[in-house]
């Protein structure tokens, strides 16, 4: 086939398959720009860790002001592009103000991240220092960007939250939807293959291992056959729960009670009471109180 023929076929596709075109449309956020923005946000959260001499104690206020000014300008520009993609009749939102709202949460986010780093240090006997965890543990990048993206998600900013968490997903193999609500002292050990859905809630002092899925059952559809959006689809994980590698927990009505353990490769679509352990014995799923299980094992 000649190049001219190929060109005509592609032009025909552009005209007939318009749902995947963005011709003559408003400017969209750049993935490259969002990736760079994600890195800059991480540097602001963990000053001095990822850029040599980015901050020094003597010039901390001056350097922070410079960094904040530049970051605010970049964040506002990308938020502006995201807001232009909204299909709404409401009054246009101020991208500069939205950027300020996100950055205003950084002190709160840093306090939460301090607990996440602590949870990794306490929860992993191989961890030698906080520095090692911040520099080398993939969960810190994934959780940090999720906590920022969640703020943008709650502000109903389109595109940006998912683009931030997808940057973390590509870098770490950890897929956390920005809508998920996550408490303090959260640790994902190893991390690869973890999936946390949009309407998941996770309490404090929760530990996940690699390959855990907190997902949805089959999706409800409307009379036209379209998936119903905006409903609770993913499980709730209460405080002090540990979920081991390869476990799959599905459904918006599924709740894992506090102080419970879910064993490796367990498949759950039903709730587990507090202070329980769920595991396989042969091919049978066992859900027992941790006290009874420990007595039997002892």
What is the structure's pLDDT at 89? Answer: 56
Neighbouring C-beta atoms of residue 108, cutoff 10 Å: 11
In sequence order, the 6+-apart residues with CB closer than 8 A to the CB of 138 are 171, 172, 173, 174, 188, 191, 192
198 vs 201: CA distance, rounded Å: 9
Query: Is-contact 94 75, C-beta < 8 A?
Result: no
pTM: 0.90
What is the structure's pLDDT at 92? Answer: 76
As a CATH number, domain 27-86+93-172 is 1.10.3130.10
Q: At what angle do helices 160-172 and 60-84 cross, to 10 degrees?
A: 110
| Mean pLDDT in consecutive groups of 10 residues from the start of the chain, 298 residues | 82 77 74 95 89 69 89 95 76 90 96 98 97 97 98 97 98 98 98 97 98 90 78 96 98 97 97 97 91 71
In sequence order, the 6+-apart residues with CB closer than 8 A to the CB of 284 are none
What is the structure's pLDDT at 184? Answer: 98
What is the structure's pLDDT at 298? Answer: 62
- Residue 40 has phi, psi (to 5 degrees) of -65, -40
What is the structure's pLDDT at 87? Answer: 63
- Give 49-55 contacts, CB < 8 A, sequence gap 24+: 49/131, 49/134, 49/135, 50/135
- What are the boundaries of each domain within the chain? 27-86+93-172, 193-298
What is the structure's pLDDT at 60? Answer: 82
Q: At what angle do helices 60-84 and 95-103 cross, to 10 degrees?
A: 130
What is the structure's pLDDT at 27? Answer: 80
Phi-psi region of 90 (alpha: psi -120 to 50; beta: other; left: phi over 0): beta
Token code pair at residue 202: 């996770």
What is the structure's pLDDT at 35? Answer: 97
What is the structure's pLDDT at 36? Answer: 95
CATH homologous superfamily of 193-298? Hexapeptide repeat proteins (2.160.10.10)
């Amino acid at each position: 086939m000649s190049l001219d023929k190929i060109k005509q076929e592609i032009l025909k596709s552009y005209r007939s398959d318009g749902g995947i075109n963005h011709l003559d449309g408003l400017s969209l956020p750049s993935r490259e720009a969002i990736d760079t923005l994600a890195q800059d946000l991480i540097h602001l959260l963990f000053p001095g860790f990822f850029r040599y001499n980015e901050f020094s104690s003597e010039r901390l206020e001056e350097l922070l002001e410079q960094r904040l000014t530049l970051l605010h300008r970049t964040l506002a520009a990308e938020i502006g592009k995201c807001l232009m993609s909204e299909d709404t009749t409401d009054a246009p939102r101020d991208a500069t103000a939205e950027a300020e709202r996100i950055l205003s949460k950084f002190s709160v986010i840093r306090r939460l991240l301090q607990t996440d780093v602590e949870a990794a240090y306490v929860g992993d006997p191989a961890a030698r220092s906080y520095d090692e965890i911040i520099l080398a543990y993939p969960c810190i990048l994934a959780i940090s960007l999720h906590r920022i993206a969640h703020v943008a998600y709650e502000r109903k900013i389109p595109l940006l939250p998912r683009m931030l968490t997808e940057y973390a997903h590509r870098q770490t193999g950890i897929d956390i939807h920005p809508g998920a609500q996550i408490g303090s002292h959260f640790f994902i050990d190893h991390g690869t293959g973890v999936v946390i859905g949009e309407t998941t809630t996770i309490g404090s002092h929760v530990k996940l291992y690699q390959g855990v899925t907190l997902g949805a059952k089959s999706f409800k559809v409307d009379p036209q056959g379209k998936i119903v959006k905006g409903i609770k689809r993913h499980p709730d994980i209460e405080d002090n729960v540990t979920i081991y590698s390869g476990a799959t927990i599905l459904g918006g009505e599924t709740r894992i009670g506090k102080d419970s353990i879910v064993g490796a490769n367990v498949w759950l679509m039903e709730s587990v009471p507090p202070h329980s352990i769920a595991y396989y014995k042969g091919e049978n799923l066992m859900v027992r109180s941790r006290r009874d299980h420990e007595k039997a094992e002892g």
